[in-house]
Amino acid sequence: MNVIEASGLGKRYGSTWALRECALAIPAGHVAALVGPNGAGKTTLLNLAVGLATPSAGEVTVLGGRPPGSPAALDGIAFVAQDTPMYKNLSAADMLHLTRNLNRRFDQRYAEDRLAELGIPLKRKAGKLSGGQQAQLALTLALARRPRLLLLDEPVAMLDPIARHDFMATVLTAMADDGVSVLLSSHVLAELERVADYLILVSRGRVQVAGEVEDLLASHRMLTGPAAEVGRYARRPVVRLSRGEAQAHLLVRATADDPVPPGWETHPVGLEELALAYLRDPAAAALPGPARIRSAEPSELTR
Amino acid sequence: MSIDKSISGRDGAGASPPGDDGSSPTEGTGRPTSPIEFRLDPASGVPTYLQLVQQVEHALRLGYLNPGDQLPKVRDVVAALAINPNTVLKAYRDLEIKGLASGRPGQGTFVQATLSQVALPELTALRRSLSGWLTAADGAGLDEDGMVALFTSALRDFYERRNGSHTRGGAARGETEGVA
Amino acid sequence: MTTLTVAARPEENVTLRPVPWRRMAWVTWRQHRIALTAVAVFLGALAVSLWRVGIGLHHAYAAAAACRPATSPLCDQLQTSFTRMDGFLVNGYVLQAVPALIGAFAGAPVLARELETGTFRYAWTQGFGRWRWTLAKLVPLAIVVTAAAGALSVLCSWYYRPYLTTGNLFLPEESPLANLFVLRGVAFAAWTLAAFAIGALAGMLIRRVVPAMAATLAAYIGLAFATGLYASTTYRRWSSRTSSTRPPPRGSSASGGQGAAPR
C-alpha cells in the first residue's frame, strides 16, 4: 500500500506555485524524509496530504486511495504541524480529553503512561510547558490515536539536541511497535541517514528526488580523477561536478557494477552528500525520466 | 571502535534505554535482555547498519557474546539510538546471512555461531608478511598516513568485490580496463 | 528492489461510523465556557436592571393612567413624572447594543481564534473532520445565544408595555418607534442570531480575533441603521396612510402612497 500517492499535484497561492507537477508514491512501513530548503514546498505538500489545503492541479490520495480530509483519511493520519500548535489554556489532561473526544480511537492509557514517563504533569497548562515538552505532548496525542501514518512538519527545528533525540526515539519506537509509517519534513540533513529510509527532495516547488535510500545510494557513485579528463564524461548522468586544478570529483548516477575508467577512483556516496548535491542544482532530478546532463564547468568549489 | 563494556543484562546494572518500560506485549519487565548494547558513531561515515553488524562481530571476537545470547531487541535499539527500525532489521538480516545469528519469531534474534577464530600459527604468518609489506612501503617513501590510506582503500575494494559486486573498478593503480 | 521493512498495520474496515456529535459538547463547552459565562452574566445583569426599572415604570404608568379626571393638575403631574422617567430612550439604546456585543464576543472568536493561533492545524486534522467540527461548535452556541436573547426579549416586551398600549397619549412626539421593532419578540432573538452569524463569518474571513470583532460590530451597526431607517420610513408611510388624524400627503393616489411621507 502506498501511504501517499500524488500525480501532477500542484498548489498555487495567488500567482505563485508553491508546488508543481509533483508525482509521488510513498510506500508504507518507511520513514520518509521530506527535505528541502525553506520555502521549497514541504509544508504545502503536507497540508495537501492532510486536507488543510486543496490542490490547484493534479490529485493526491492517502492510505491507499482515500481523499485527504475525508473521514477515512483523517482517521488514519495524525499530523503534528510546525511549532506544534496547542491550546495554551488547556491543561495536558484537557488536551487528552479533547483528543479522545475528537477521534474514534484513542489509547488513554498509553498517553498517560507516556506523559508520566516524560515527566509532563497532567494538570499543567500546555502554554506553560517547555518547547520540548509541548512537542512531546503533541506527539503523544498523535500517537495515542494509533494512526497508520504520522506526518510531522519540521518537528525538531526548535528543540535542543536532547529533546530532539527523545522526540525521534519516540517516533521510531512507535514505528517499531505499531508499524506506523512516518513522513517528516526537515531542512536538517545531518541526522537523515540514521532515521530515513525513503528520501524526497523538494526544491523550488518541484520534487527532485524520490526513492528508497538504499536504492539511491546504490545508484550513485563518486568518481575522482584527473580534472583534465572531465570533459569526456559529459555524456554520463552527472549530478554534480567539483574540481580543483588537477583533481575533480564527479557525482554520477551509476552503480557499483558499472566499469570505471582507468586512472579514476570510485567511491560510494553518503546520503547527506547526495542530498546536498541535488539541492545545489535544482534542475537535476533522480526520477524516472531523462536526467539533465551537466556540462563541466570550472566554476565549482574545490574539495 | 569500542564496545560499551556494559554487561547490563547479567548484573542488572541499570544501563537499559530510558523510557522503555514494558508497553510492548512481547517484552517482560523491560530489563535489558542482551549482554551487549549498541552505540552509534554518526560521524564515522560508516553506514548505520554496518556499524551494528561490526559491533556484533567485534563482541563475538572479544567474547562478550556467545552462542545462545540474545541480541538487543529491535525496539530497545531504536529507543536508545533513535535509528530507523528497518536499519536494525537489515543489520540482523545481514548477520543471519553470515550465519552468525538467527531470529526466533516472537522472541528475538539470537547468536548462532562464533566467528571462526584464526589459529595462532596463521596469525603469526600473517603478521610476518604484513611486516614485510610495511618495510617495502616505507622503502617506497610512504609515510604512516599514506600506508593507512593505501591499506584502507584496498581493504574496501576487497570487500566490495567480495560482497557481490563484480566490478573491477576502484583500484587506482595501473589497470588498463576499457573506458566506460 | 525493496528493503526489509517493518510490517505495516493491516487494513481496517474503511466504512467507518463517524465520531458521534455529542462528543463535541464537552469540547465546545470547555473552549467557550468563558464566553458563554460572560454572555450569561451580562444578560443576567441586564435582566435585573430591566426588572427593577420596569417595576417603577409600570407603577408610574398605572398611577397616571388610572388617574381621573385626566386633565387635572394632579394627573398631569403623574403623567409628567412618568414621561420624565425616560426609561424608554436610555434602555433602548443599551438594549440595541446587546446583539452586537454578543455577536462580536461570542461569535467572532470561535473561528478567528483557531485561525489566528494556528490551532486549526490540530483541530481540523482530528478524526472529527473540519466541517462537522465547525457545525458542532457554531450550532449549539447559536442556539444557546438565541435562546438567551429570546428569554430577555420576553422581559423587554413586559418592560415596554406601558409605552405600547394602544391609544397611549403619553408618548414623546418624535419617538423612535422603529427602535422598538428591534427589541420585541422574535426580532430581538433574530438579530442576536444574525449578529452571531456575522461574527462567525467575520472570524472565518478575517482570521484575527480583534479585527473580526471590530468588523462584526461595524457590520451589525450598519445593518441595524439601514434596517432602522427602512423600518421607520415604512412605518411612517404606513401610519400616515392609515391614521385619520394626519393630513394625507400631497400627491398620494388611491392606489397607494407613492410620495414621500411628511417628516
Query: Is residue C15 included in any domain, yes or no?
Result: no
Number of residues assigned to chain C: 263
Rounded to 5 degrees, φ, ψ at C126 are -85, 170
Give the model's confidence band at C171: pLDDT under 50 very low, under 70 low, under 90 confident, else very high.
low
Chain A hits for C17, Cβ within 8 Å: 104
Provide the CATH number for the domain around residue B94: 1.10.10.10
Question: C73-123 pLDDT, tens per residue?
Answer: 777 777 777 766 665 556 566 777 888 888 899 999 999 999 999 999 999
Q: Which residue has the cell 522503555?
A: B20
Plot region of A136 (φ>0 → left; ψ -120 to 50 → alpha; else → beta) = alpha
Q: Give the sheet arrangement for strand A206-212, strand by strand.
A: A77-80, A149-153, A181-186, A31-35, A198-203, A206-212
Q: Which of residues 52-91 of C touch B (CB under 8 A)?
A: none
Q: How many other C-beta atoms are found inside a 10 Å radius of the C-beta of residue B31?
A: 14
Mean pLDDT across C125-152: 90
Query: Is residue C133 included in any domain, yes or no?
Result: yes
Q: Which of residues 248-267 of A touch B (CB under 8 A)?
A: 254, 256-267
Q: Which residue has the higher pLDDT, C93 or A208?
A: A208
Grid coordinates in use for B16? 537499559
Query: Is residue B173 included in any domain, yes or no?
Result: no
> End-to-end CA distance of chain C, in Å?
89
pLDDT, averaged across chain A: 85
Question: B142-157 pLDDT, tens per residue?
Answer: 899 999 999 988 988 8
* Same domain, yes or no: B40 and B58: yes
Number of H helices and E strands in chain B, helices first, is: 6, 2
Distance from CA of C3 to the nearest CA of B (A): 8
What confidence score (pLDDT) does residue B14 get? 38
b/e burial code for range C185-218 (CB count within 10 A of at least 16 → b): eebbbbbbbbbbebbbbbbbebbbbeebbebbbe
Mean pLDDT across C209-221: 93
Whole-angstrom distance, CA of residue C40 vs CA of residue C28? 16
Q: Are A102 and C26 an interchain contact pair (Cβ–Cβ within 8 Å)?
A: no
What confidence score (pLDDT) does residue B171 get? 40
The pLDDT > 90 percentage for chain C reads: 22
Q: Are C4 and B89 an interchain contact pair (Cβ–Cβ within 8 Å)?
A: yes
Least confident of A81-85, B69-73, B150-154, C254-258: C254-258
The pLDDT > 90 percentage for chain A reads: 43
The pLDDT > 70 percentage for chain B reads: 69
Q: Are A259 and B40 an interchain contact pair (Cβ–Cβ within 8 Å)?
A: no
Query: Is residue C251 included in any domain, yes or no?
Result: no
* Same domain, yes or no: B55 and B135: no
- Tell me the one-letter amino acid at B75: R
Query: Is residue B60 included in any domain, yes or no?
Result: yes
Three-state secondary structure call for residue A272: helix
The pLDDT > 70 percentage for chain C reads: 69
List chains touching C (3+ CB pairs under 8 A).
A, B
Whole-angstrom distance, CA of residue B64 vs CA of residue B57? 10
Least confident of B27-36, B67-76, C154-163: B27-36
Number of H helices and E strands in chain A, helices first, is: 9, 13
Query: Is residue C170 included in any domain, yes or no?
Result: no
- Which segment, B3-7, B30-34, C126-130, is predicted with the most confidence on average? C126-130
Distance from CA of B60 to the nearest CA of C (A): 25
Question: C16-55 pLDDT, tens per residue?
Answer: 677 788 888 888 888 888 888 988 898 888 888 888 888 8
Exposed / middle / buried, residue B62 (Cβ in 10 Å: 0-12, 13-18, 19+): exposed
Residue of A nearest to B85 (CA): A176
What confidence score (pLDDT) does residue B81 get? 93
Query: Is residue B176 included in any domain, yes or no?
Result: no
A220 — contact with chain B (CB < 8 Å)?
no
Output the CA angle A18-A19-A21, nearest 5 degrees. Answer: 150
C173 pLDDT above the threshold of 60: no
Grid coordinates in use for A130? 517547555
Chain C hits for B90, Cβ within 8 Å: 3-4
Least confident of B23-27, B77-81, B171-175: B171-175
Question: A29-87 pLDDT, tens per residue?
Answer: 999 999 998 888 899 999 999 999 999 999 999 998 899 988 889 999 999 998 888 89
Query: Is residue C65 included in any domain, yes or no?
Result: yes
The domain A2-214: what is its CATH number?
Answer: 3.40.50.300
A149-153 and A220-226: which strand pairing? unpaired
Could you tell me where the DSSP H helices lie in chain C? 23-66, 73-84, 87-102, 108-117, 120-123, 130-164, 177-183, 185-206, 209-242
pLDDT, averaged across chain B: 75
Look at the alpha carbons of B92, B45, A284, B157 in this order and tell me if their dihedral is positive or negative. negative
Q: Are A239 and A296 in contact (CB under 8 A)?
A: no
* Same domain, yes or no: B55 and B80: yes
* Same domain, yes or no: B103 and B127: no
List chains touching A (3+ CB pairs under 8 A).
B, C
Distance from CA of A175 to the nearest CA of B (A): 7
Chain C hits for B86, Cβ within 8 Å: 3-6
Give the model's confidence band at C253: pLDDT under 50 very low, under 70 low, under 90 confident, else very high.
very low
Q: Which residue has the higher pLDDT, C136 or C96?
A: C136
Mean pLDDT across A97-110: 91
Give the model's confidence band at B134: pLDDT under 50 very low, under 70 low, under 90 confident, else very high.
very high
Residue of A nearest to B156 (CA): A267
What confidence score (pLDDT) does residue C197 get? 94
Residue of C nearest to B75 (CA): C6
Mean pLDDT across A246-254: 83
What confidence score (pLDDT) does residue C184 get? 64
Q: Could you tell me which of A12, A65, A26, A11 has the C-alpha nearest to residue A151?
A: A26
* Same domain, yes or no: B83 and B144: no
Q: Which residue has the cell 584527473?
A: A226
Give the model's confidence band at C254: pLDDT under 50 very low, under 70 low, under 90 confident, else very high.
very low
Distances (CA, A) of A245 to A242, A261, C120: 10, 20, 56
Residue of A186, A194, A236 best to disrupt the B interface, most CBs of B under 10 A: A194
Range of the domain at B37: 8-111
A289 pLDDT above the threshold of 70: no
A297 pLDDT above the threshold of 60: no
b/e burial code for range A137-171 (CB count within 10 A of at least 16 → b): bbbbbbbbbbbbbbbbbbbbeebeeebbbbbbbbb
C7 — contact with chain B (CB < 8 Å)?
no
What confidence score (pLDDT) does residue A245 get? 81
Whole-angstrom distance, CA of residue C95 vs CA of residue C160? 12
Mean pLDDT across B2-20: 39
- Across the interface, of A50, A176, A178, the residue whose CB is closest to C125 is A50
C183 pLDDT above the threshold of 90: no
3-state secondary structure B117-135: CCCHHHHHHHHHHHHHHHH
Whole-angstrom distance, CA of residue A219 vs CA of residue A237? 11
Query: Is residue C14 included in any domain, yes or no?
Result: no
Number of separate domains in chain B: 2
Q: Which residue has the higher pLDDT, A264 or B23?
A: A264
Distance from CA of A152 to the nearest CA of C (A): 12
Q: Which residue has the higher pLDDT, C91 or A271?
A: A271
* Same domain, yes or no: B23 and B104: yes
Range of the domain at C219: 23-165+179-239
The pLDDT > 90 percentage for chain B reads: 31
Q: For C260, how many CA atoms within 13 A lie in the half-sphere containing its CB?
A: 4
Mean pLDDT across C210-225: 91
Query: Is residue C52 included in any domain, yes or no?
Result: yes
User: What ipTM was predicted for this assembly?
Assistant: 0.83
Give the model's confidence band at A153: pLDDT under 50 very low, under 70 low, under 90 confident, else very high.
very high
Least confident of C2-16, C196-210, C233-247: C2-16
* Same domain, yes or no: B82 and B148: no
What confidence score (pLDDT) does residue B104 get? 87
Q: Which residue has the higher pLDDT, A197 or B15?
A: A197
Q: Are A263 and B87 an interchain contact pair (Cβ–Cβ within 8 Å)?
A: no
Residue of A nearest to C124 (CA): A52
C168 pLDDT above the threshold of 60: no
Q: Are A196 and B84 an interchain contact pair (Cβ–Cβ within 8 Å)?
A: yes
Q: Which residue has the higher pLDDT, A28 or A156?
A: A28
Residue of A nearest to B25 (CA): A177
Whole-angstrom distance, CA of residue B101 vs CA of residue B93? 8
What confidence score (pLDDT) does residue C211 get? 94
Least confident of A282-296, B40-54, B134-148: A282-296
Residue of A113, A173, A215, A216 best to disrupt the B interface, most CBs of B under 10 A: A173
Q: Are C127 and A83 an interchain contact pair (Cβ–Cβ within 8 Å)?
A: no
- pTM of the predicted protein model: 0.77
Least confident of A177-181, A262-266, B155-159, C87-91: C87-91
b/e burial code for range A257-278 (CB count within 10 A of at least 16 → b): ebebbbebbbebbbbebbbebb
Question: B38-64 pLDDT, tens per residue?
Answer: 999 877 778 889 999 999 988 888 888
What confidence score (pLDDT) does residue C53 get? 82
Q: Are A75 and C27 an interchain contact pair (Cβ–Cβ within 8 Å)?
A: no
Q: Are A64 and C117 an interchain contact pair (Cβ–Cβ within 8 Å)?
A: no
Distance from CA of A207 to the nearest CA of C (A): 21
